[in-house]
Structure 1
Amino acid sequence: MFRSLACASALFLAVPAFAAETVSVDTYRGAVDVPANPEKIAVFDIAAVDTLSALGVDVSGAPQNLYVDYLQSVADKAEDLGTLFEPDIEAVHALQPDLIIVGGRSSDQVDTMAELAPAIDMTIWEDVVGQGLARLGTYGKIFGREDKAAELRADFDAQLKSARAAVADKGTALIILTNGPKISAYGKAGRFGWVHSTLDLPEAAAEISDSTHGESISFEFIQTVNPDWLIVIDRLAAIGQPGEDAKTTLDNTLMHETKAWKNDQVVYLNASDIYISGGGIQSMMRTLSDIEAGFNGN
């Protein structure tokens, strides 16, 4: 593999450099000059694939598995470039991309990719909504799709307004992630905390840690906290793995005693949307739509 990478790097560096128009954009690692309107792109970040697809930008190459069903048509047309964690370097070199985008799970690949073509890290992490919307604007700038980006931003704002209205004055919520029989809770400062902060949705348990993987909890904890609403993310469903699903895990005596269960106020989100492609413009709108529907009893 290292020999292949060395050969690929040598071939790339041997290509004569031609002057090309560039634009300065903000990335997760600071401002970077990138080619303007690149024709061929390799993308190793599913949130980026999500937003680029919404903008109408063709993704030339991507990981073989994007996990989310609404991006399957993108995966079908793109060249197979391996996985997020193990990119196929030879396939990337053969593609000869004008720009490579990494982020999140693939962010540590940026230096390797930069030896093949201009590469940027577009990770979305600390501020999912803020960074997600910033990435939308950045991609619009890179690909000359500013008008489409503005249209999508307006659509997002409208969906956010509707979701806020749906959750207003309806009590507290607890966000949990199931992983087979195991359960973790996420608070306002955690990975999915943007749901609380963006929607002004009160937390049922304010003391939850901000750990990346959430805080491991028991059914007794949920019973004690007794949220008005329970928002559920099924990790196994998100990654397509077999095992006990969230509905089976939560169907027990202790859960039956909670206000959320008694009042049929358990909202099961599309797990792939929020867990896999979180921060993508489509993902965020789909999640907000799920929450709106759930709180409206649909």
Structure 2
Amino acid sequence: MKRKSILLIIISMFAIFAAACGSNNVEKKTGSSKDDVIVIKHQLGESKVSKNPKKVVVFDMGTLDTLDKLGLGDRVVGVPQDSIPTYLKKYKGSEYKNVGTLKEPDFEAVNAIQPDLIIISGRQQDSYDKFEEIAPTIFLGVDSKKYMKSFKENVTTIGKIFGKEDQVKQELTNIDNEIAGLKEKAKASNKKALITLTTGGKVTAYGPASRFGLIHDVFGVKAVTDDLKADPVHGQNISMEFILEKNPDILYVIDRDAAIGEGNNAKGVIENSLVKKTNAYKNGKIVYLDPGYWYLSGGGLESVSEMVKEAAKGIE
């Protein structure tokens, strides 16, 4: 009887120990599950996002740029392939699903992927609710009126989601240093600039606080005129006479036709008899900016760094 009692006590102890272990395992799993989900606040709301998602659909080219720079390209499973800049052309490969266009997403294609996360920006914001029905969706567009603030917030969010905080911090420090160098040169220079975009033979101009206004607002390059009443996104239509009248020392040019695959037409439009009379032309300071960086994928870690370098060509 004594042996039986001892045996029963031992069995009971094992049962209690096993139950305790089971309880601990449940708690750990539950805790881990909570730890793996973070709430991301963005312009369109709040979204619960799993940390380190494996399948991401990206509609914002600046974000695609950032993911690529951080070595996270293997997480991208779907993109609007017709809008990808040349330097990110690998994402046009068959291993990536084409999910429509920037303005007309293919929701069936997105749904078929069953992504863990969808990232959108301005052109898709009206479809936010539709995207949210498929998967957690966050808005990471850049605000031209507070370009660097929104850019830094966006890439910091990416770093938080994918556990790349330290790398993002270092990349942003590098960019801040590059900008500081350019601002110093711009401050010491008397050169004044005009930012233009060409498309279909027409020219529009952009000033401070516009889509491309960071050249003035952030990089410190002086504007040739304060009279522009440009739409922040679409710019102000101008004539060649306007360019000659303002006579910029630097003329920055973005070729929209090249960006959307309709040829490289900017030089033929800009370098006419009137513009050739300007200081910019005479001194070799017509700077043709890469439309991939400026028109398609602005707001990425690589694109912003390259934008600083390109803008500096006007001051050098």
Q: TM-score range by the shorter chain?
A: 0.7 to 0.9
In 2, are the aligned partners of 1:159 and 1:285 still within 8 Å (CA)? yes
Aligned pairs for 1:249-288 (under 5 A) are 249-288=269-308
Letter in 2 for 1:142: I
Q: Distance in 1 between matches of 2:37 and 2:212?
A: 35
**Aligned alpha-carbon RMSD (Å):** 1.9
* Alignment match, 2:86: 69
In 2, are the aligned partners of 1:128 and 1:278 still within 8 Å (CA)? no
In 1, are the aligned partners of 2:47 and 2:137 still within 8 Å (CA)? no
In 1, are the aligned partners of 2:191 and 2:315 still within 8 Å (CA)? no
SS of residue matched to 1:200: coil
1:120 aligns to 2:120 (yes or no): no
1:145 to 141, 144, 164: 164
Instruction: Tell me by how many angstroms 1:40 deviates.
Output: 1.1
1:27 aligns to 2:42 (yes or no): yes
Letter in 1 for 2:259: A
Instruction: Tell me by how many angstroms 1:30 deviates.
Output: 4.3
Letter in 2 for 1:217: I
In 1, are the aligned partners of 2:257 and 2:265 still within 8 Å (CA)? yes
SS of residue matched to 2:254: strand
Instruction: Tell me by how many angstroms 1:65 deviates.
Output: 2.1
1:39 aligns to 2:54 (yes or no): yes
Instruction: Tell me by how many angstroms 1:232 deviates.
Output: 0.8
Q: Distance in 1 between matches of 2:110 and 2:276?
A: 52
Q: Distance in 2 between matches of 1:89 and 1:31?
A: 21
Letter in 2 for 1:236: D
In 1, are the aligned partners of 2:253 and 2:266 still within 8 Å (CA)? yes
2:186 to 158, 162, 167: 167
1:52 to 67, 73, 95: 67
Instruction: Tell me by how many angstroms 1:294 deviates.
Output: 4.2
Q: Distance in 2 between matches of 1:205 and 1:196?
A: 11
Per-residue CA deviations over 1:162-208 (Å, capped at 9, x if unaligned) read 33344341411010111132111100021111111111111101111
* Alignment match, 2:252: 231
In 2, are the aligned partners of 1:42 and 1:100 still within 8 Å (CA)? yes
In 2, are the aligned partners of 1:61 and 1:78 still within 8 Å (CA)? yes
Q: Distance in 1 between matches of 2:306 and 2:92?
A: 19
In 2, are the aligned partners of 1:44 and 1:101 still within 8 Å (CA)? yes
Letter in 2 for 1:240: G
Q: Which moved more, 1:268-277 or 1:104-113?
A: 104-113
In 2, are the aligned partners of 1:107 and 1:123 still within 8 Å (CA)? no
* Alignment match, 1:97: 115
In 1, are the aligned partners of 2:42 and 2:139 still within 8 Å (CA)? yes
1:158 aligns to 2:177 (yes or no): yes
Q: Which moved more, 1:200-209 or 1:286-295?
A: 286-295
| Cα distance change of structure 1 residues 293 and 259 upon mapping to structure 2, 3 Å threshold | closer
1:203 to 223, 226, 229: 223
Q: Distance in 2 between matches of 1:33 and 1:207?
A: 45
Gaps of 5+ in 2: 1-31
SS of residue matched to 1:292: helix
SS of residue matched to 1:33: strand
Q: Which has the larger radius of gyration?
A: 2
Q: Could you tell me the percent identity over the aligned residues? A: 37
| Cα distance change of structure 1 residues 247 and 163 upon mapping to structure 2, 3 Å threshold | same
| Cα distance change of structure 1 residues 66 and 151 upon mapping to structure 2, 3 Å threshold | farther
Q: Distance in 2 between matches of 1:67 and 1:118?
A: 23
Q: Which moved more, 1:64-73 or 1:161-170?
A: 161-170
* Alignment match, 1:106: 124
Q: Give the structure with the larger helix fraction.
A: 2
Q: Which moved more, 1:201-210 or 1:158-167?
A: 158-167
* Alignment match, 2:149: 130
In 1, are the aligned partners of 2:83 and 2:102 still within 8 Å (CA)? no
Q: Distance in 2 between matches of 1:50 and 1:86?
A: 21
Q: Distance in 2 between matches of 1:100 and 1:40?
A: 9
Q: Distance in 1 between matches of 2:197 and 2:46?
A: 35
Instruction: Tell me by how many angstroms 1:68 deviates.
Output: 0.7
Q: Distance in 1 between matches of 2:277 and 2:165?
A: 50
SS of residue matched to 2:173: helix
Q: Distance in 1 between matches of 2:54 and 2:124?
A: 22
Per-residue CA deviations over 1:240-263 (Å, capped at 9, x if unaligned) read 114x71111122221111111111
